[in-house]
C-alpha cells in the first residue's frame, strides 16, 4: 500500500444556503487514478477545487505530502497556494482553457515560464512534451488550428511540463466524441499513473471513470460510494461462465 499524497478531513463548504461539501474525508494514494462522480450539484467540482487549493473549505483541512512532511494546503495564503498550483499541481479542463492567440508550444511553455524558467529552456521542454503527446510538427499551430483531441493533448502537456506530481482533470473528455475520448484518456493515464504520478479527475462518463482504479461517488456533498474498479472487475463473472463455456 502506497502512502497518501492527499488527505482530507471533514471538509465542509457552503455557497450561501447551499451545501457543497458536508464532512468529506478521504485519502488519495500516490500514483493512484481516482475518478470523482456525481450528479450536477453533488459537490464533485468543489471537492476537486479544495484538493487543488483553488478554493478554501469552510471547515476541515487538506494535506499534501511533500518531502518535508505534510503541507496543509487549506491553511496557506492565496499567493502560496498559487505557487503550489504552479509548481506541484497540473490541471486539465473540459475545454482545455488554452490561450487561443498563442501557438501550441507557447501554451505549454508558458506554464514553465510562470515558474521563472527562461523562454528558450521552457520551449525546449514544451517541444519534448508535445512530441510525447504525438504532436510533433504541430508546435507552431494555434489552438483553433487543432482538433479537439489535439488541443486536449496540448492541455495535458501543459499540465505535465512543470513536473507536477498530481494532475487534476475536470471533465477532460466532456467535449470529445467517444473515440477521441478514449485516445485522450490513454494519453492522460500514460503520462500520469503509468509514470508514477497521481491523477484525480471529475467526470460524468462512466466509461472514463472505469479506466481509473478508484471511483468515488458523491451525493449532496457526501461520499456515498468508494469503490476499487480492479476489485469490481475481479468479482464480475467472465463471459465463459455466463454462457456455460469453458476455456
- What are the residue ranges spanned by the domains of the chain? 1-81+203-230
* Confidence at residue 246, expressed as pLDDT on a 0 to 100 scale: 34
Check whether 16 has a pLDDT greater than 80.
yes
**Which region among 12-26, 139-153, 171-185, 199-213 has the lowest average model confidence (pLDDT)?**
171-185
* Confidence at residue 157, expressed as pLDDT on a 0 to 100 scale: 94
Percent of the chain surpassing pLDDT 90? 83
Q: Average pLDDT over the chain, rounded to whole?
A: 90
* Domain at 1-81+203-230: CATH architecture: 3-Layer(aba) Sandwich (3.40)
pLDDT category at 95 given cuts 50, 70, 90 is low
Check whether 234 has a pLDDT greater than 60.
no
pLDDT single digits (tens) 197-212: 999 999 999 999 999 9
Give residue for cell 492541455: 155
pLDDT category at 94 given cuts 50, 70, 90 is confident
Percent of the chain surpassing pLDDT 70? 92
pLDDT single digits (tens) 19-71: 999 999 999 999 999 999 999 999 999 999 999 999 999 999 999 999 999 99
Compute, in degrees rounded to 10, the torsion defined by CA atoms 120, 102, 185, 112.
Answer: 30
* Confidence at residue 97, expressed as pLDDT on a 0 to 100 scale: 79
- The crossing angle, in degrees rounded to 10, of helices 104-113 and 119-132 is 130
* Confidence at residue 64, expressed as pLDDT on a 0 to 100 scale: 97
* Cα 128 from chain centroid (whole Å): 21
pLDDT single digits (tens) 164-177: 999 999 999 888 88
- The one-character DSSP state at 237 is P
* Cα 46 from chain centroid (whole Å): 13
**Which region among 87-101, 131-145, 196-210 has the lowest average model confidence (pLDDT)?**
87-101
Check whether 241 has a pLDDT greater than 70.
no
Using a cut of 0.95, tell me whether the model's pTM lies above it: no
Contact 152/191 with Cβ under 8 angstroms? Answer: no
Amino acid at each position: 500500500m502506497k502512502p497518501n499524497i492527499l488527505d482530507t478531513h471533514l471538509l465542509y463548504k457552503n455557497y450561501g444556503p447551499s451545501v457543497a461539501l458536508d464532512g468529506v474525508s478521504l485519502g488519495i494514494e500516490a500514483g493512484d487514478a481516482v475518478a470523482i462522480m456525481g450528479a450536477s450539484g453533488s459537490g464533485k467540482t468543489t471537492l476537486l477545487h479544495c484538493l487543488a487549493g483553488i478554493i478554501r473549505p469552510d471547515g476541515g483541512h487538506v494535506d499534501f505530502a511533500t518531502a518535508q512532511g505534510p503541507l496543509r494546503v487549506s491553511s496557506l495564503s492565496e499567493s502560496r497556494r498559487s505557487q503550489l498550483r504552479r509548481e506541484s499541481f497540473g490541471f486539465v479542463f473540459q475545454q482545455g482553457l488554452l490561450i487561443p492567440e498563442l501557438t501550441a508550444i507557447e501554451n505549454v511553455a508558458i506554464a514553465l515560464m510562470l515558474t521563472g524558467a527562461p523562454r528558450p529552456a521552457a520551449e525546449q521542454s514544451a517541444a519534448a512534451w508535445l512530441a510525447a503527446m504525438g504532436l510533433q510538427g504541430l508546435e507552431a499551430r494555434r489552438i483553433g488550428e487543432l482538433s479537439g483531441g489535439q488541443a486536449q493533448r496540448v492541455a495535458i502537456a501543459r499540465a505535465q511540463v512543470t513536473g507536477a506530481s498530481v494532475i487534476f482533470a475536470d471533465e477532460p473528455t466532456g467535449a470529445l466524441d467517444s473515440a477521441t475520448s478514449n485516445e485522450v484518456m490513454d494519453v492522460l493515464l500514460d503520462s500520469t499513473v503509468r509514470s508514477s504520478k497521481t491523477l484525480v479527475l471529475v467526470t460524468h462518463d462512466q466509461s472514463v471513470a472505469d479506466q481509473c482504479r478508484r471511483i468515488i461517488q458523491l451525493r449532496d456533498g457526501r461520499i456515498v460510494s468508494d469503490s476499487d474498479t480492479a476489485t469490481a472487475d475481479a468479482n464480475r463473472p467472465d463471459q465463459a461462465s455466463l454462457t456455460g463455456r469453458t476455456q
